[in-house]
Amino acid sequence: MSYGPVVRSSTTPGQALMHHRTPFAAAGLMAVSVLLTGCFATGATGTDDPSGEGRIKVAMMLPPRSALSPFSDDAFKLSRWSTAETLVNLDEKGDARPALATRWTRTSDTTWEFVVRQGVTFHDGTTLTATVAANTLTRAMKASPKPRILDGVRLEVRAEADKVVLTTDVPDPLVPQRLSSPQLSVLAESAYAPDGKVNPVGAGSGPFKLVHLNGTTGATLDRFDGYWGDKAKAAGIDVSFVPDGAARAAAIRGGEAHVVEAVPVSQAALLDQQTVTEVPMPRTNTLYLNTKTGPFADPALRAAVREAIDAEAIVKGVYEGRADVAEGLLGPALPWAAEGRKALGERTKAADPKSTTITLATFTDRAELPEVASVLQQQLQDKGFTVNQVVREYAHIEQDMLAGKFDAFILSRATVLDSGDPVAYLRSDFACDGSFNIAKLCDPAVDAAVVKAAGVEAGDQRRAAILEAEAAVLRTDAAIPMLHERVIQGDATSLVDSAKDPRERLLITATTRLR
């Protein structure tokens, strides 16, 4: 099998848009309906509760990849179903707030103490203690692979009375934020097997108890009446995993689901707009320019690209208006970024491209990106560049991307990772030694700004330092943010109070119910 590049130098933006936006024919809708019926098997969806409180049917995009192990990205499913909880939650600004820990204290540069909430019962009937919480964190540190939030972190954990004591090898002002990651959800000791495997069924502490996982088909959760907080209003949750975006959208139209996550842009217009909610995501569609080799080692040619891009045309043409034009790397999912962002001042002047040939690359896994590439290709050619495209699946382009084999790369990139803080993203993508530095940027001003932001305590001062680092990156034109994506969620008109969470940690909560 060949994984060579697909060169699309002759593709026009209009051709790409026309192909993608063709509505379903009647036969296509019938095929989706058949597919959907198979997705929502009787055992997966259940029936309404006799009390009238009802069970909520959810269609999710991706099936579990690790049998719902909390140490993997499957943890976000446990969080979105309100079945597993963490010691700390995050508020809208990303500041730490109590959850299974009621308070915490930093007792030295490297030591933190977290007081564990009393009166919490797990779904298996056991009680939350500091020892149980410490067990979760210790097992997370020993997991292979470790949860992403613990990459590069050395952590010692012990229980002292009602406290969990954490010691890091270097000062880390984001320890509370790290503990908010769903990958550090605290489970009952019964969840952990001697061989390192974790089974969260019946082992969480949230308002809904996970009672069954049907492989990659679905999951069943019931209300947990022993919950320490406000009891769930719904009788339970019936989850189906539906990878096909058209089938998920059809689930709302046909009434087979009450909540559908990740409705594709192309499907959103086909739905009753009362059932569609758009939530800004902390994800930016950015054009990265190779600053080390090739034409874009010249800052003036990078500036020419910046001036050539019409982001509004991309938002309207490719995303059908369901995205936000970027004003910086950090978007409206972080309201403080827009509130605190300052003008960049004088920028590098653009040079005449003089037909300079560049290679523009992206990947197919996110449906809109090849279309973005086609529109961007035309915009750059109108400015005077000669542009060739390379488009592959992400798995087959990542290595070349990281090796700097392209002049420009379009990437849909999460700007806040599991800690809810953008510093990790800024460091990995733009620091000289960044592990994801596809722009090959090495700028002393950028490195100094990122280091400064990393050392500031969480809060307003840290946020101000983050915006200084963002500005330092933008002045280089190594990365040109184009738009901020939105997550499109489908909610039946019979559903009340599903969560609309930019971080995609919450979906069904204790207050979610049917009318």
Residue indicated by tokens 């919490």: 120
Contact yes or no for 147/184 (Cβ under 8 A): yes
Catalogue the long-range contacts made by 137-141 (C-beta closer than 8 Å, 24 or more residues apart).
137/164, 137/166, 137/184, 139/192, 139/196, 139/198, 140/71, 140/183, 140/184
Q: Which of 49-63, 104-118, 179-193 has the lowest mean pLDDT?
A: 49-63
- Using pLDDT thresholds of 50, 70 and 90, give the confidence band for residue 19: very low
Per-residue DSSP letter, 275: G
> What pLDDT digit, counting tens, does each position of 436-470 carry?
999 999 999 999 999 999 889 888 999 999 999 99
Q: Tens digit of pLDDT for each residue in 67-108?
A: 999 998 899 999 999 999 999 999 888 889 999 999 999 999
Measure the CA–CA gap between 177 and 166, rounded to whole angstroms.
Answer: 13
pLDDT of residue 39: 54
User: So what's the architecture of 13-20+279-487 in CATH?
Assistant: Roll (3.10)
- The residue among 403, 393, 428, 400 whose CA lies nearest residue 413 is 428
CA atoms of 474 and 4, how far apart (whole Å): 32
Tens-place pLDDT, residues 139-163: 999 998 888 788 778 899 999 999 9
Distance between terminal CA atoms of the chain? Answer: 53
Confidence at residue 148, expressed as pLDDT on a 0 to 100 scale: 79
218 pLDDT tier (thresholds 50, 70, 90): very high
Pair 415, 330: CB distance under 8 Å: yes
Q: So what's the pLDDT on residue 262?
A: 86
Strand, coil or helix: 116:
strand
Mean pLDDT of 25-35: 41
CATH value of 40-63+206-272+493-514 in 3.20.20.240, 3.40.50.300, 3.40.190.10, 3.40.50.720: 3.40.190.10
In the chain, where the domains are located = 13-20+279-487, 40-63+206-272+493-514, 88-191
- Please spell the DSSP secondary structure of 447-465, one letter per residue: HHHHHHHHHSPTTHHHHHH
Q: What is the CATH number of domain 88-191?
A: 3.90.76.10
Q: Is the pLDDT of residue 473 over 80?
A: yes
The proportion of the chain whose per-residue pLDDT surpasses 70, expressed as a percent, equals: 90
In the predicted model, is pLDDT for residue 42 greater than 90?
no
Q: What's the mean pLDDT when you consider all of the chain?
A: 88
Are 419 and 177 in contact by the 8 Å Cβ rule? The answer is yes
Concatenated DSSP letters for 414-453? ESS-TTS-THHHHHHHHSTT-TT-TT----HHHHHHHHHH
Q: Which residue has the higher pLDDT, 315 or 196?
A: 315
